A and B are shown apart, each in its own frame.
Chain A
Amino acid sequence: MTQAAQIQEQANRPAHPEKKGDWKQYFTFSTDHKVIGIQYLVTTFVFYLIGGVLATMVRTELATPESDFVSREVYNSLFTVHATVMIFLWIVPAGTGGFGNYLVPLMIGARDMAFPKLNALAFWMIPPAGILLMSSFLVGAPGAGWTNYPPLSLISGKAGEMIWILSVLTLGTSSILAAINFLVTIAKMRTPGMGWNQMPLFCWAMFATSILAVIATPVLAGALILLSFDVLIGTAFFNPTGGGDPIVYQHLFWFYSHPAVYIMILPVFGMISELISVHARKPIFGYKAIAYSSLAICGLGLIVWVHHMFTSGTPPWMRMFFMITTMIIAVPTGIKVFSWLATLWGGKLDDSSALLFAMGFIALFVIGGISGVMTASVPFDIHVHDTYFVVAHLHYVLFGGSVFGLYGAFYHWFPKITGRMMNEAWGKAHFWLSFVGFNLAFMPMHKLGLEGMNRRIAEYDPKFATLNLICTIGAFLLAMSTIPFIVNVTWSWLRGEPAGDNPWRALTLEWMTTSPPPPENFIADPVLATGPYDYGLAPRSTEVDVPFSDASNPALSAGPSSTLRAKPDPVVAANPSDRGTESNNR
């Protein structure tokens, strides 16, 4: 073979040679963003189930006032690892790594993420970090809470603490790498014609999330590295016995961990914007307001961390400053909620599980948001800080918010990912079981906290027994609610009704390719013909005829630089007559 022929062969080799539907590719270091997205989704869901089992054990302990189900040490480990798993191994990586990876390149018309190998690296940090965290149960799991405040974390078992630190450091590193990738991908790889204001709102949300992750996560890493010095080699950064200050750790920890709430919720805000517009068949109301409010939340989210420390010996001026910044963040959040409601109002709502979860998300998130404004108020927060009121608040935001949003996203994008529809009856059973179970589990906690039940306790005053029993029953229902979902996903993936390429008749670019999309996403460069939410503007055909056959289209099997692809036919997003045909100048 001549050198020229070798170069030609190299050029013609597909960047992503995996065959569609080959399950083994999900166990490889694939660099295809779709494979990585599915790897994230499945892995994080497994961790969600593990975190759920831990939560169920916590609630079993709390079914009665006495500490009688597990030992007190084990109880502390259960809630510590539960929270760590749910935050670092489920919500953050599922929202950003899972849906972000799968959808962002498709939505902006790119063939992959900017740095595919970095992407694979970021994912492959997750399973070892998760397994490492679980292994801590073999040596005495960490029990100082997911905040891991010193000095308690310094006098707990060193092995468990170090495993926790190492695991969270690895997960944080993964998060930073993924965020850098998203920033570059969104900034540089949008299809020609897609300006910032033509970008789907999920991409805006991912952009804001990634800025937060890049700025805030290194601070957590710094805190954890210093903490590990204190644990391992006896330094005294945070150890008061050597003159260190445990409050400094709290500042560093919350500088990351409050923005982490937005890292968890912002992508879900983006998903909800997509879902509601499509399923209400209306343009999203106030596109720019929603897009820019994500950036506002990103900016404000970095200056609210001290509201977790109002009782930690924080000076009055600092309490007042952070009270006001925390209150103000309710404004951009409120803008989003009202815009979603206005989008629903007067729409043509379909009866889908995805929409049901999106609407459930709004209802529950509003409760979490209102209690969030309450806890921002210093005098009131001093009463409820570290009580079950806060436990209720954070679960309304992170379960009622993030997890309901993620479920909605599963139902919405499942047809794109698998090419098959999910079963609606099972979906609705899943929703109602989750919704009722969730409210039973967490609504009474508001009263428990206000009445005087502190959090992170294995035993409590018998006067709280009835409400706690209701919470526990709700938690069991919530645990059971995952069963219809798992059955639905498994059955639908194997035998579900074929979905077609665009079952929701949506207008964003991910629906303009086959379901599931081919390697490198589009057989030719997509061209924007409409905005992402231009519903109701003119009759159009959203059925896109995308030939997908290696035999009929040799370009498909060729590499991106192959001459076969020099003049591809553009894939048109929707009826070009709406806006006039745009030329493909890529």
Chain B
Amino acid sequence: MNIPSQISTLLAGIILTLVSLWYGQNHNLLPIAASEAAPLIDQLFGAMLTIGTGIFLLVIFVLVYSYFRFRRDPDDLSDGPPVHGNIPLEILWTAIPAVIVLGISVYSFEIYNTESGMNPMDHSMAAHSKHSHQVAQMKGSAIAAPLIAQVDPVAKDAEVRQNAATDAIEEKIPLRQDAPAAGNVAPRAGSIPATGQEPLVINAAGMQYAWLFTYPEEIIAGELHLPVGRPVVMNITANDVLHAFWVPEFRLKQDAVPGRQSEIRFVPTKEGDYPIICAELCGAYHGAMKSHVVVESLEAYETWLQSMKVAQTNASDRAIALNPAEMTDSEYLAPYAQEAGVTPDLLHQLHPMS
């Protein structure tokens, strides 16, 4: 086989390495990193992109060079050299990819572990924390959420049951809180134990076509507000079909599965307003199922929380005064739908499980 001289091979190798390294670090393909996990994942992507660029350039070089250098004349009917194989070379190019993918596997494992992904003890403690149970007991909180916000527990339960949709959710889709299958499901993104801070526990419920977030003090919101730097544990479920909670700037995603509870943890690190996207096909208006997460200072977050409390107290009083039992679901939900980010035409698509 016609092998190029050692010097030119060495030079080509150096150029290839430099170009790959440069592109791996300067690709500009990802949005800003706004969670503790994000820079780690970006590093991993950068490393994989560096290796990938090198391999791609090598293959393209061989293809293009061969295409022009080894083209035969139309009249040349001779064959190429009868090289059947080369055992050392074959071992080499089996070993190199094997080492590369094992290296990437180990690196990925390390990143995953740093996100506490492999720490079930950590999870079980958080899952049994006070907030977690307190919020999770509100089965079917999603659709009737504004109603149940500020009333006493007994009345709350009774009113929840007045809503047919909530009833269906409560009785037909059993949430498997703490079930073994549903227990260890999350990428534990963010170094929650290390910060020493009590995590903010939020319940997220996906439904066609909105997210509803339930805060510890039974504040219900269609958008997410988070104080910067505080760990968040989010319990996720779905009321109807599969959804997936994804914030690209956090680099994290977790499916919302009806009948199961999954969990995602992260520490938002940069103030800003980021999109929350449903990444799992959930119906005709899947593309419109959007919300946003506002990462803000602790003061701004507290202010927002207070304003929500006031708004929901008023809303709840009004709802009770209007006697929701005499209203249709649509009439009852209308005032809250807008707040939850659900537009009227989306609401028409909302239907209980058949």
Contacts and interface: CB of A to CB of B under 8 A. Distances in A.
Given A151-B258, A155-B354, A505 B242 contact: no
Given A152-B281, A315-B185, A377-B48, A345 B255 contact: no
A287 B84 contact: yes
Contact of A380 (B45, B80, B260, B351): B45
Contact of A152 (B72, B94, B241, B287): B241
Contacts of B351: 155
Interface string A436-448: 0000000000110
A328 interface: yes
A348 B105 contact: no
A247 B255 CA distance: 11
A139 interface: no
B281 A534 contact: no
Interface in B269-326: 275, 277-288
B173 interface: yes
A378 B101 contact: no
A363 B59 contact: yes
A420 interface: no
Given A155-B241, A311-B244, A240 B102 contact: no
Contacts of B86: 285-286, 342
B48 A373 contact: yes
A452 B102 contact: no
Contacts of B98: 328, 331
A240 B284 CA distance: 20
A358 to B, nearest CB: 10
Contact of B262 (A313, A337, A537): A313
Interface stretch (A1-9, A27-35, A457-465, A492-500): A457-465
A331 B101 contact: yes
B279 A386 contact: yes
Interface stretch (A12-20, A275-283, A520-528): A275-283
Main secondary structure of the interface of B (DSSP, over half): mixed
A241 B174 CA distance: 7
Interface string A55-86: 00000000000010001110110000000000
A459 B185 contact: no
Contacts of B184: 315-316
B185 A313 contact: yes
B110 to A, nearest CB: 9
Nearest to B62: A341
Interface stretch (B144-152, B193-201, B225-233, B245-253): B245-253
A126 B312 CA distance: 58
B22 interface: no
A149 B285 contact: no
Nearest to B95: A331
Contacts of B262: 313
Contact of B255 (A312, A334, A347, A455): A312
Interface string B32-64: 000001001100110011001001100110110
A456 interface: yes
B254 interface: yes
Nearest to A542: B77
B254 A73 contact: no
Contact of B93 (A67, A338, A387, A505): A338
Interface string B203-227: 0000000000000000000000000
Given A341-B59, A367-B56, A380-B108, A281 B80 contact: yes
A535 to B, nearest CB: 4
A385 interface: yes
Nearest to A76: B284
B6 interface: no
Q: Choose among A247, A287, A328, A461 the residue with the greatest number of B CB atoms under 10 Å from its CB.
A: A247
B344 interface: no
Given A315-B184, A331-B94, A335-B90, A374 B241 contact: no
A341 B63 contact: yes
Interface residues of A, number: 97
A373 B257 contact: no
B29 interface: yes
B112 interface: yes
A383 B90 contact: no
Nearest to A360: B63
B90 A240 contact: no
B251 A383 contact: yes
A545 interface: no
B336 to A, nearest CB: 23
B331 interface: no
B234 to A, nearest CB: 13
A374 B24 CA distance: 13
A554 interface: no
Contacts of B257: 240, 246-247, 312-313
Contact of B240 (A72, A144, A155, A316): A155
A483 to B, nearest CB: 25
A377 B97 contact: no
Given A377-B44, A379-B108, A380-B44, A149 B66 contact: no
A346 interface: yes
Given A143-B284, A245-B259, A451 B248 contact: yes
Contacts of B63: 341, 344, 359, 362-363
Interface string B74-111: 10111111111110011001100110011011001101
Interface string A352-367: 0000000100110011
A323 interface: yes
Interface string B155-182: 0000000000000100011100000011
A316 B262 CA distance: 12
A76 B117 CA distance: 34
Contact of B55 (A72, A286, A314, A366): A366
A311 B82 contact: no
Contacts of A144: 281
A215 interface: no
Contact of A451 (B29, B37, B78, B83): B29
A458 B286 CA distance: 8
A245 B179 CA distance: 13
A546 interface: no
Nearest to A315: B184
A452 B285 contact: no
A418 to B, nearest CB: 23
B70 A536 contact: no
A394 B232 CA distance: 34
Nearest to B349: A72
A494 B251 CA distance: 56
Contact of B78 (A154, A314, A348): A348
A455 B45 CA distance: 20
A348 B242 contact: no
A515 to B, nearest CB: 19
Nearest to B29: A450
A456 B286 contact: yes
Interface string A76-99: 100000000000000000000000
Contacts of A344: 62-63, 66, 70
Leading 9 A-B pairs by shortest Cβ distance:
A457-B287, A240-B259, A452-B248, A536-B79, A536-B82, A241-B172, A282-B80, A370-B52, A348-B72
20 contacts: A152-B241, A152-B283, A240-B259, A241-B172, A319-B112, A323-B109, A335-B93, A341-B62, A342-B89, A345-B62, A346-B80, A366-B59, A379-B44, A386-B253, A386-B281, A450-B29, A450-B30, A451-B248, A536-B81, A537-B82
Given A313-B260, A373-B48, A386-B253, 20 more contacts: A76-B281, A151-B242, A152-B242, A241-B168, A241-B173, A283-B83, A283-B84, A311-B254, A327-B104, A345-B1, A345-B62, A348-B79, A367-B56, A374-B52, A377-B104, A379-B44, A386-B246, A446-B29, A456-B287, A535-B80
